[in-house]
C-alpha cells in the first residue's frame, strides 16, 4: 500500500434508508496505482466510486481525495484533473459525437482541438458527425471513454469500461487503459470481466455485499488464496505411473484423456515440478502452464456467488 494516499476511505458506511450499501470500508489508494474493483452486481463498487467523486456523502466515516473532502471541495478537486466513465454512460441524444466532446472539453477548459484525436483513439472518427441517438451501446461507451480522457487527467475512474464492447474493441480499450497506467496515472476500474483486467491491476479489491472481502496485489492474492497452478501435459504412453511416483507429494496428477495429464501444484512448488518434468526428457511432449485466474481467486473468496463473468453472461441471456 502506498505511503502517501491519494484516496483514503476510513470506516465508510453508506446507507439508503434502511439499506446499507457499504459496511465499513477501509481503503487507501496511492498515486499512480492501477486498482481493479471486483464484485458482483450490488457489491458496492459504483457507490464507492461515487463517494470518491463526491457525488454522494458517506453516512458514517470519512472519504478524502488529495486530503480534501470530495463532497465539499469539489471544484478544487475536479480541476486537478479527473476523468470518469459512469457504468451506464448517457449523453445528450440530439448532439453529435463531436459536439458532445466539444461541450465537455469546454467545461474542462481544454482545447477542443484534442477532440478529433480522442475520437480516433476510440475508433469513432467515422461516426463523429452523427447524432448520439444513432449510436450503439458500444459506441456510446467508447465516446464515454474519450470524454473521460479529455485533458489527459491524472486520475481516471472507469466503471465497467468495456461493457457492451466486442472482444476486439475490448482489447483496444484495455490497450488505452494500459497506456494510462504506464504513464503513471491513477486508474480505478470496476469490472465484471475479471480475466481481462488482470494485466492492468497493481492492486485488486474484491467486494461482496458492501464489504471488502480482500485486497492486495495479484501476487499477494494468489498466495493468500493458495490456489493450485495447473499444468497440462502431453506425455508418451504409459508414463502416468512414473509421473505420479516422481511428483508424489509436490503435485496431484489426473489422467484427463489420451496421453493427456493435468497436474496441480502449489505456487511454491511450481518450479520444482517443472524441473522434475524437465528431467523426464522426451517422455513429456508438451507443457502448458495455467496460473490461477482472477476469476478463480474471486470464486475462492466469494464461493457462494457465481463468478461475475458468468453472471454477466446470464444477464445478457
Partner 1 sequence: MRAVFILATKELNDGLRNRWILSIFLLLGSLALLLLLVSSAPGGTVKVSSLNIGVVNLTSLTVYLLPLIALMLSFDALVGEFERGTMLLLLTYPLARWQIVMGKFVGHLVILMAALLLGYGGAAVISLLIADGSSAGWENYLAMMVSSLLLGAVFLVIGYLVSLLARERSAAIGLAIGVWLFFVVLYDLGLLGVLLVDKEQLISQELFSFLMLINPTDLYRVFNLSALSGNGEISHIAGAIEIGSLSPLMLISACMGWLLIPFLAVIGLFQRREV
User: What distance lies between CA 303 and its chain's CA centroid?
Assistant: 19
Whole-angstrom Cα distance, residue 1 to residue 122? 32
- Least spacing, CB of residue 155 vs partner 1, in Å: 11
Whole-angstrom Cα distance, residue 204 to residue 57? 24
Widest distance between CA atoms in the chain: 71
* 104 part of the interface to partner 1, by CB under 8 A: yes
Judged by CB under 8 A, the residue of 31, 78, 272, 280 near partner 1 is: 78
- Provide the 8-state DSSP code for 292: P
Interactions with partner 1, residue window 121-160 (CB under 8 A): 144, 147
* 75 part of the interface to partner 1, by CB under 8 A: yes
* 92 part of the interface to partner 1, by CB under 8 A: yes
Judged by CB, which is closer to partner 1: 75, or 304? 75
Judged by CB, which is closer to partner 1: 13, or 55? 55
Secondary structure (3-state) at 285: strand
Judged by CB under 8 A, the residue of 56, 213, 267, 283 near partner 1 is: 56
Q: How many residues bind partner 1 (CB under 8 A)?
A: 27
Whole-angstrom Cα distance, residue 227 to residue 207? 19
Whole-angstrom Cα distance, residue 119 to residue 128? 7
Whole-angstrom Cα distance, residue 11 to residue 209? 15
Judged by CB, which is closer to partner 1: 103, or 301? 103
Give residue for cell 457504468.
87
Whole-angstrom Cα distance, residue 248 to residue 250? 6
Select from 47-55, 203-211, 235-243, 266-274 the region that touches partner 1 (CB under 8 A). Answer: 47-55
Whole-angstrom Cα distance, residue 188 to residue 243? 45
Judged by CB under 8 A, the residue of 9, 82, 189, 284 near partner 1 is: 82
- Least spacing, CB of residue 107 vs partner 1, in Å: 4
Count of Cβ atoms closer than 10 Å to residue 179 Cβ: 12
- Least spacing, CB of residue 84 vs partner 1, in Å: 4
- Provide the 8-state DSSP code for 32: T
**Long-range contacts of residues 121-125, Cβ cutoff 8 Å, at least 24 apart:** 121/146, 121/149, 121/176, 122/146, 122/172, 122/173, 122/176, 123/169, 123/172, 124/97
Q: Which of 140, 193, 4, 159 is nearest to 84 (CA)?
A: 159
Judged by CB under 8 A, the residue of 2, 15, 31, 74 near partner 1 is: 74
- Least spacing, CB of residue 159 vs partner 1, in Å: 10
What are residue 252's DSSP bridge partners?
264
Whole-angstrom Cα distance, residue 7 to residue 70? 10
- Least spacing, CB of residue 51 vs partner 1, in Å: 10
- Least spacing, CB of residue 187 vs partner 1, in Å: 15
Judged by CB under 8 A, the residue of 1, 41, 107, 278 near partner 1 is: 107
Select from 31-39, 87-95, 227-235, 252-260 the region that touches partner 1 (CB under 8 A). Answer: 87-95
Judged by CB under 8 A, the residue of 31, 55, 274, 287 near partner 1 is: 55
- Least spacing, CB of residue 99 vs partner 1, in Å: 8
- Least spacing, CB of residue 45 vs partner 1, in Å: 15
Residues that bind partner 1 (CB under 8 A): 50, 53, 55-57, 74-75, 78-79, 82, 84, 86, 88-94, 103-104, 106-109, 144, 147
Amino acid at each position: 500500500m502506498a505511503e502517501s494516499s491519494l484516496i483514503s476511505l476510513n470506516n465508510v458506511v453508506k446507507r439508503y434508508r434502511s439499506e446499507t450499501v457499504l459496511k465499513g470500508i477501509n481503503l487507501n489508494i496511492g498515486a499512480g496505482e492501477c486498482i481493479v474493483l471486483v464484485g458482483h452486481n450490488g457489491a458496492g463498487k459504483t457507490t464507492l466510486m461515487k463517494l470518491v467523486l463526491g457525488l454522494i456523502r458517506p453516512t458514517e466515516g470519512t472519504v478524502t481525495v488529495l486530503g480534501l473532502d470530495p463532497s465539499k471541495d469539489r471544484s478544487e478537486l475536479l480541476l486537478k484533473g479527473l476523468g470518469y466513465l459512469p457504468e451506464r454512460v448517457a449523453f445528450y441524444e440530439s448532439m453529435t459525437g463531436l459536439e458532445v466532446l466539444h461541450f465537455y472539453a469546454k467545461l474542462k477548459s481544454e482545447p477542443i482541438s484534442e477532440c478529433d484525436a480522442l475520437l480516433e483513439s476510440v475508433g469513432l472518427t467515422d461516426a463523429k458527425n452523427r447524432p448520439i441517438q444513432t449510436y450503439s451501446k458500444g459506441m456510446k461507451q467508447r465516446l464515454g471513454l474519450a470524454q473521460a480522457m479529455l485533458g489527459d487527467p491524472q486520475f481516471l475512474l472507469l466503471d465497467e469500461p468495456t461493457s457492451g464492447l466486442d472482444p476486439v474493441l475490448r482489447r483496444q480499450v484495455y490497450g488505452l487503459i494500459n497506456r494510462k497506467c504506464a504513464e503513471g496515472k491513477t486508474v480505478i476500474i470496476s469490472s465484471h470481466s475479471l480475466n481481462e483486467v488482470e494485466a492492468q491491476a497493481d492492486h485488486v479489491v474484491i467486494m461482496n455485499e458492501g464489504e471488502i472481502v480482500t485486497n492486495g496485489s495479484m501476487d499477494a492474492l494468489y498466495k493468500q488464496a493458495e490456489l493450485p497452478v495447473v499444468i497440462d501435459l502431453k506425455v508418451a504412453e504409459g508414463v502416468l505411473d512414473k509421473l505420479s511416483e516422481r511428483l508424489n507429494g509436490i503435485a496431484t496428477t489426473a489422467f484427463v484423456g489420451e496421453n493427456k495429464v493435468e497436474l496441480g501444484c502449489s505456487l511454491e512448488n511450481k518450479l520444482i515440478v517443472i524441473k522434475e518434468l524437465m528431467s523426464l526428457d522426451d517422455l513429456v511432449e508438451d507443457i502448458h502452464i495455467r496460473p490461477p485466474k482472477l476469476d478463480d481467486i474471486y470464486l475462492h473468496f466469494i464461493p457462494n456467488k457465481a463468478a461475475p463473468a458468468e453472471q454477466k453472461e446470464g444477464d445478457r441471456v
